[in-house]
Chain A
Amino acid sequence: MTGAAPPALLRMEGITKTFGSARALDGVDLTLRRGEVHALVGENGAGKSTLVKIMTGAYHRDSGEMWLDGERVDFDTPAQAQAAGVCAVHQEIHLLTHRTVAENVYLGREPRRWGFVDWRRMNHETGALLAGLGLDIDPRAVVGTLNTARQQMVAIARGVSLGAKVLVLDEPTSSLSPREVTILYDLVRRLKAQSTAIVYISHRFDELYAICDRVTVLRDGRLVSSHDLASLDRLDLVCLMLGKSRDALRAGTTAFGEQRHAPAASLTAPQPPLLRTEAIARGSRLRGVSLEVAAGEIVGVAGLLGSGRTETARAIFGAAPSEQGAVYLGGRRLDPQSPDDAIAAGIGFVSEDRKAEGIIPELSIRENLTLAALPMLTRFGIVSRSRQVEIVERFMRRLGIKAASADQRIRELSGGNQQKVLLARWLCTEPRLLILDEPTRGIDIGAKGEIQALVNELAASGLGVLMISSELEELVEGSTRVVVLRDGRSVAVLQGDEISQQAIIHAMASERAPAAQDAAS
């Protein structure tokens, strides 16, 4: 370490963690300095949350070393980490909602007099602490009555009062309004001035560049690199996160610049598109996505983690309906308020989380496959077994589902075959539009190709497909058009020759440009 660099406050070296057969972290290093705000970034499965959980004692590492203030440390529980001065404020805030602010701040170490909790002193000291942090919060207020931003401030205040030297903020702004974000920034700067080290996890580039000093990038459980943020532009950062080389992209920069101005409107086919969304928005994660899908077309949706991809899919499917904007299907306004509405209108949705939202593990292939179509197969409340069997056989043959029999439990199948069953589940409802969220995630290479071929074939037969994917290759090769999302907005639509990995990455990384408004409006 050079003399210029301040000494490390917390150092993690060669951290490795395995869950079952999956390696979540593989030899990751992280160094935090006093009084720095350190961004931790990476796409899905990069290992950010695992690393943070090891740092704060929620998980135990398999191997590697950790030093705090030059001393080797080993945390078995969050309580030990807190006692040593390492605290986390989680995205879903862990506070007692029925108890007061003061009780939450002092839980576990209440001031006492003669063995009894000293309420007066507890309230008084909490008030002083909050005032010292520039926060106007009543220590006697019940936490559940405060808004999310204030709850988060209380959680941070608790960390501060524990004497935190390292404070981890996990997506602290995900539910804050712009004004509240300013308050958070003030608080972060104040803590920084008190030489607290802050680990800042966020997907929003604007925030990272506004508040963070350094950044550590993880990808697939490995350390990519650490940098000063000032010397790293957005394009570099995206390239690091996605594992693409910048040199390969540089050539594309000019071509992208020319093509970006091709107006999306000129594409519009004479007949109304199958699906059209107009600036749909919901909460702080979905803030204006406009896109179109024609029959027989595969439209890709690209964006970094947290850019609103899944939220877009869930809004179109009615699972988390949009609060603003409009969804049209076949030229008629739909605005589905529940999946029922969407399914009745002919929309199918294959979720990215196959295990939690897709398959029902203990049921057979037959039952899983016909779940969505049951209303069509039922007469007077009785499921027609013969029609069920016929449909299942037809789709198993058509999609090439490999299984011992239709009665095999779905959990015994490979990921690829499970995904085919889920595809078949929607196909047998004869949808007009299919939304695929990460259709090939967690599926081996061979089955991946089969699924991609299948999706192509379906589109060729007239189905409209909206395909969300974090694999740029898949988007580039599979899509007739690609919609790029950033911070909950659609910022670019690429088509034909414009579609390239470079163009997508540029659109993901660029700061809010005029082009963004063009595409969004």
Chain B
Amino acid sequence: MSTTSLPSVAGSRFTGARALGLLLRSGAVVALVAACIFGAMRYYAFATPENVVNVLRQNSMLGLVALGMTFVILTGGIDLSVGSLLAVAGVVAAMLSTHGSLPAIAGGLGTAMLLGIVNGVLIAKVRIQPFIVTLAMLIAARALALAATAEQSVTVSPDASALSWLGRGELGPVPLPVALLVLAYLIGWTMLRYTRFGRYLYAIGDSEDAARLMGLPVDRIVIATYALSGALAGLGGIVLAARLGAGQPVAGTGWELDAIAAVVVGGTLLTGGQGGAGSTLVGVLLLGVIFNLFNLEGTISPWWQWVLRGVFLLGVVIVQGRLQRRLTHE
């Protein structure tokens, strides 16, 4: 299966532990396939190209945020500030859009990445808990966005055509945000599997002490990880602002929780060291499809939808926890 984080095991014994491990990682895939089959059979409008493209486009920005979150969670950390950084990037990009697309995109991305570096330095060097650091950043960055805009949304200048294209353009039949999503996950997957940086993320999440004793530059990797998470959240914010035609200071509120949910549902462990980009993509799509099914059903009130989503999330995590425990006992 292409989304696993393990090296290819061609020729090695196919043990019970391996089989369970595969099931554990593909549990979310099974759920996704089941949800799609259910949708295709029950709703006429589900398996249409329009609906599929719609689901993908709606979830592409969350997908970018969740990819960054995957990196962070693999190291055993957490980034609660992604929703706020997304808003900051969108607002900055919209403000700079009168100067052209390039300054807008670079400014938005750069600001979010810089704030991500601040997170990383506070965590790695000042040694404060990631939860606390990014919670503080969540509050402060959101307030920064609100203060800078006087709580008003900032219109994206019509002159910044390349910026608008990011949100509204298409590559053939594929909307640009979806193309960006696919590209980001391809790069992310390759990084995690085939680069030293990627392997070190797993090492740090597995055992930070061991990683240090083996001589890895743990602090630098942690800072780079939060920078990456900030940058991906920023990219999501820029795409969202381009789609909406405005940078909104309240954009992305609560997205950190959706991103964490997608990562966890996909099968990445909150304790770090296990999981990957592919499983997060599956998690994002699974949550997106469920939401889409609710909409197609149309008779479930939004509040009950949230209740069901909560129950569903918990159910998936409980099942995975069981599988995981059985795996480690073998």
With both beta carbons as reference points, the residue of chain B lying nearest to A79 in the complex is identified as: B215
Residues of B with C-beta under 8 A to A194: none
- In the bound complex, CA of A291 to CA of B190 (Å): 62
Q: Determine the interface band of chain A, counting residues with CB < 8 A from chain B.
A: 20 to 34
Measured CB to CB, the closest approach of chain A to B28, in angstroms, equals: 19
Measured CB to CB, the closest approach of chain A to B272, in angstroms, equals: 9
| A96 & B215 in contact (Cβ 8 Å cutoff) | no
Residues of A with C-beta under 8 A to B328: 144
Task: Produce 1/0 per residue, B185-229, CB < 8 A to A.
Answer: 000001001111001001100110111111110000000000000
Task: Produce 1/0 per residue, B16-34, CB < 8 A to A.
Answer: 0100000000000000000
| A107 & B17 in contact (Cβ 8 Å cutoff) | no
Residues of B with C-beta under 8 A to A142: 17
Which of B8, B12, B196, B215 sits near A119, CB closer than 8 Å? B8
Question: Which of A110-118, A222-230, A398-406 lies on the face that meets chain B?
Answer: A110-118
Residues of B with C-beta under 8 A to A145: 17, 330
Residues of B with C-beta under 8 A to A99: 202-203, 206, 273
| B199 & A107 in contact (Cβ 8 Å cutoff) | yes
**A63 contacts the other chain (Cβ, under 8 Å)?**
no
Residues of B with C-beta under 8 A to A123: 7
With both beta carbons as reference points, the residue of chain A lying nearest to B9 in the complex is identified as: A140
**A7 contacts the other chain (Cβ, under 8 Å)?**
no
With both beta carbons as reference points, the residue of chain B lying nearest to A107 in the complex is identified as: B214
- In the bound complex, CA of A234 to CA of B190 (Å): 59
**B53 contacts the other chain (Cβ, under 8 Å)?**
no
Query: With A78-B213, A94-B213, A96-B211 given, is the CB distance from A117 to B330 under 8 Å?
Result: no
Task: Produce 1/0 per residue, A137-176, CB < 8 A to B.
Answer: 0101010110000000000001000000000000000000
| B17 & A115 in contact (Cβ 8 Å cutoff) | no
Measured CB to CB, the closest approach of chain B to A100, in angstroms, equals: 7
- In the bound complex, CA of A100 to CA of B17 (Å): 14
With both beta carbons as reference points, the residue of chain B lying nearest to A141 in the complex is identified as: B12
- In the bound complex, CA of A108 to CA of B211 (Å): 9
Measured CB to CB, the closest approach of chain A to B226, in angstroms, equals: 21
**A521 contacts the other chain (Cβ, under 8 Å)?**
no
| B195 & A96 in contact (Cβ 8 Å cutoff) | no
**B6 contacts the other chain (Cβ, under 8 Å)?**
yes
| A138 & B7 in contact (Cβ 8 Å cutoff) | no
Task: Produce 1/0 per residue, B299-317, CB < 8 A to A.
Answer: 0000000000000000000
- Report which residue of B17, B210, B211, B328 has the largest number of chain A beta carbons within 10 angstroms of its beta carbon: B210
**B164 contacts the other chain (Cβ, under 8 Å)?**
no
**B84 contacts the other chain (Cβ, under 8 Å)?**
no
- In the bound complex, CA of A218 to CA of B194 (Å): 47
- In the bound complex, CA of A116 to CA of B210 (Å): 23
- In the bound complex, CA of A107 to CA of B215 (Å): 9
With both beta carbons as reference points, the residue of chain B lying nearest to A144 in the complex is identified as: B328
**A220 contacts the other chain (Cβ, under 8 Å)?**
no
| B210 & A95 in contact (Cβ 8 Å cutoff) | yes
Measured CB to CB, the closest approach of chain B to A146, in angstroms, equals: 12
**A98 contacts the other chain (Cβ, under 8 Å)?**
yes
**B274 contacts the other chain (Cβ, under 8 Å)?**
yes
| A100 & B199 in contact (Cβ 8 Å cutoff) | no
Measured CB to CB, the closest approach of chain A to B219, in angstroms, equals: 12
| B206 & A117 in contact (Cβ 8 Å cutoff) | no
Task: Produce 1/0 per residue, A74-87, CB < 8 A to B.
Answer: 00011100110000
| A119 & B7 in contact (Cβ 8 Å cutoff) | yes
Query: With A96-B273, A97-B207, A98-B273 given, is the CB distance from A108 to B330 under 8 Å?
Result: no
| A94 & B199 in contact (Cβ 8 Å cutoff) | no
Query: With A94-B209, A108-B215, A145-B330 given, is the CB distance from A116 to B203 under 8 Å?
Result: no
- Report which residue of A78, A90, A108 has the largest number of chain B beta carbons within 10 angstroms of its beta carbon: A108
Q: Determine the interface band of chain B, counting residues with CB < 8 A from chain A.
A: 20 to 34
Residues of B with C-beta under 8 A to A108: 214-216
Measured CB to CB, the closest approach of chain A to B63, in angstroms, equals: 24
With both beta carbons as reference points, the residue of chain A lying nearest to B216 in the complex is identified as: A108
Residues of A with C-beta under 8 A to B216: 107-108
- In the bound complex, CA of A90 to CA of B215 (Å): 15
- In the bound complex, CA of A99 to CA of B207 (Å): 10
| A116 & B213 in contact (Cβ 8 Å cutoff) | no
**A29 contacts the other chain (Cβ, under 8 Å)?**
no
- In the bound complex, CA of A97 to CA of B211 (Å): 11
Measured CB to CB, the closest approach of chain B to A428, in angstroms, equals: 39
With both beta carbons as reference points, the residue of chain B lying nearest to A143 in the complex is identified as: B206
| A96 & B207 in contact (Cβ 8 Å cutoff) | yes
With both beta carbons as reference points, the residue of chain B lying nearest to A97 in the complex is identified as: B206
Residues of A with C-beta under 8 A to B203: 96, 99, 103, 107
Residues of A with C-beta under 8 A to B274: 98
- Report which residue of A79, A107, A138, A145 has the largest number of chain B beta carbons within 10 angstroms of its beta carbon: A107
| B195 & A103 in contact (Cβ 8 Å cutoff) | no
Residues of B with C-beta under 8 A to A78: 212-215
Residues of A with C-beta under 8 A to B211: 96, 107
Residues of A with C-beta under 8 A to B12: 138, 140
- In the bound complex, CA of A98 to CA of B190 (Å): 19
Cβ < 8 Å to A, chain B residues 275-323: none
| A96 & B202 in contact (Cβ 8 Å cutoff) | yes
Which of B17, B195, B206, B214 sits near A116, CB closer than 8 Å? B195
| A94 & B207 in contact (Cβ 8 Å cutoff) | yes
| A110 & B196 in contact (Cβ 8 Å cutoff) | yes
Measured CB to CB, the closest approach of chain A to B36, in angstroms, equals: 31
Measured CB to CB, the closest approach of chain A to B277, in angstroms, equals: 15
- In the bound complex, CA of A116 to CA of B8 (Å): 15
With both beta carbons as reference points, the residue of chain B lying nearest to A113 in the complex is identified as: B194
Measured CB to CB, the closest approach of chain B to A62, in angstroms, equals: 22
| A96 & B7 in contact (Cβ 8 Å cutoff) | no
With both beta carbons as reference points, the residue of chain B lying nearest to A119 in the complex is identified as: B7
With both beta carbons as reference points, the residue of chain B lying nearest to A140 in the complex is identified as: B12
Cβ < 8 Å to A, chain B residues 166-200: 190, 193-196, 199
| B212 & A117 in contact (Cβ 8 Å cutoff) | no
Measured CB to CB, the closest approach of chain B to A185, in angstroms, equals: 25
Residues of B with C-beta under 8 A to A98: 202, 206, 273-274
| B215 & A100 in contact (Cβ 8 Å cutoff) | no
Measured CB to CB, the closest approach of chain A to B38, in angstroms, equals: 34
Residues of B with C-beta under 8 A to A58: 213
Query: With A98-B273, A140-B12 given, is the CB distance from A115 to B195 under 8 Å?
Result: yes
Query: With A98-B274, A103-B199, A117-B194 given, is the CB distance from A140 to B7 under 8 Å?
Result: yes
With both beta carbons as reference points, the residue of chain A lying nearest to B193 in the complex is identified as: A117
Give 7 closest A-B pairs by Cβ, nearest first: A79-B215, A96-B206, A116-B194, A94-B210, A119-B7, A98-B273, A98-B206
23 contacts between A and B (CB under 8 A): A58-B213, A77-B215, A78-B213, A78-B215, A79-B214, A82-B215, A83-B215, A96-B203, A96-B210, A98-B202, A98-B274, A108-B214, A112-B196, A117-B195, A117-B196, A119-B7, A119-B8, A123-B7, A140-B9, A140-B12, A144-B328, A145-B17, A158-B214
- Residues of B near any A CB (own CB < 8 A): 6-9, 12-13, 17, 190, 193-196, 199, 202-203, 206-207, 209-216, 273-274, 328, 330
- Supplied contacts A82-B214, A107-B216, A140-B9, 4 more A-B pairs, CB within 8 Å: A96-B210, A98-B206, A99-B202, A119-B8
